[in-house]
Amino acid sequence: MALEGTRQTRPRGRRRAGENTRAALLDAARVEFTERGFDGATVRGIAQRAGMDPAMVNHWFGGKDGLFVAALQLPVDPEDIIRRVLDGEPSQIAERVLRTFLSVWDTNGGGAFTALVRSVASHEGAARMMREFVSRMIFGRIVSVVAPDRPELRTALCGTQIAGLAMVRYVIRLEPLASADHDTVVAAIAPNLQRYLTGELTTGSATC
């Protein structure tokens, strides 16, 4: 007799239209990632919670990483950002990072990113996902290429400058930064961000 309560098998083949397995997978992933973190959550567990096969994660999101990024609901494609940042002069990485973020944020008036900041600030689970995302997928990869030492500290420091810019420019909307054009923002902030990326961390560099 079949164990109907703990069924392990589902009928093969395509579901009826409207079942939307992709969305179900995303919902399950958000629950698992926020509760257990990236490492603690398993593809198999997420798939089971969504009631489908683990292979669906690969089919729809290309793997665990892709599912995680999609679950974060980022208004950007981090792979695109990394690509746009990593090619070019290392001494101008900060400028490219800033220009990339500014162009992405300003295309939709910062609305999507404001929502992201809100959710990160209010939900502990969202904060946890953002924490692991930043340390694992963004600055970790960038800094490991260009940083001379202490990549984790540099990653976190870069996070302070980027998050602070987002807070002041888009959430608090403090002038003149809120309406400043990209060149002004870059000229003001890029040197500081560059110090976090490639500069000397123990001694000051502001006063030569």
Residue ranges in contact with DNA by CB under 7 A: 8-17, 19, 21-22, 41-45, 51-60, 63-65
Report which of 77, 92, 109 is spatially closest to residue 178, judged by C-alpha positions: 109
Which CB, 24 or 163, lies closer to a second copy?
A: 163
Q: How far is the CB of 136 from DNA (least distance, A)?
A: 13
Q: How far is the CB of 137 from DNA (least distance, A)?
A: 12
HSE of 160, CA atoms in CB hemisphere, 13 A:
11
Torsion over CA: 49, 50, 51, 52 (sign): negative
Among a second copy, DNA, none, residue 17 binds (CB under 5-8 Å by kind):
DNA
Q: How far apart are CA 75 and CA 117, in angstroms?
A: 12
Among a second copy, DNA, none, residue 105 binds (CB under 5-8 Å by kind):
none
HSE of 186, CA atoms in CB hemisphere, 13 A:
15
Backbone phi, then psi, for 14, in 5-degree steps?
-70, 135
Q: How far is CA 147 from CA 7, 52, 170, in A?
A: 51, 42, 29
Among DNA, a second copy, none, residue 65 binds (CB under 5-8 Å by kind):
DNA
Instruction: By CB under 8 A, name the binding residues for a second copy.
Output: 91, 94, 117-118, 120-122, 127, 130-131, 134-135, 152-153, 155-157, 159-165, 167-169, 171-178, 180, 184, 187-192, 194-196, 198-199, 201-208
Which CB, 66 or 199, lies closer to DNA?
A: 66
Report which of 159, 161, 167 is spatially closest to residue 105, judged by C-alpha positions: 167
Q: How far is the CB of 51 from DNA (least distance, A)?
A: 7
Q: How far is the CB of 65 from a second copy (least distance, A)?
A: 19
Q: 154 near 201, Cβ under 8 Å?
A: yes
Among DNA, a second copy, none, residue 121 binds (CB under 5-8 Å by kind):
a second copy
Among DNA, a second copy, none, residue 22 binds (CB under 5-8 Å by kind):
DNA
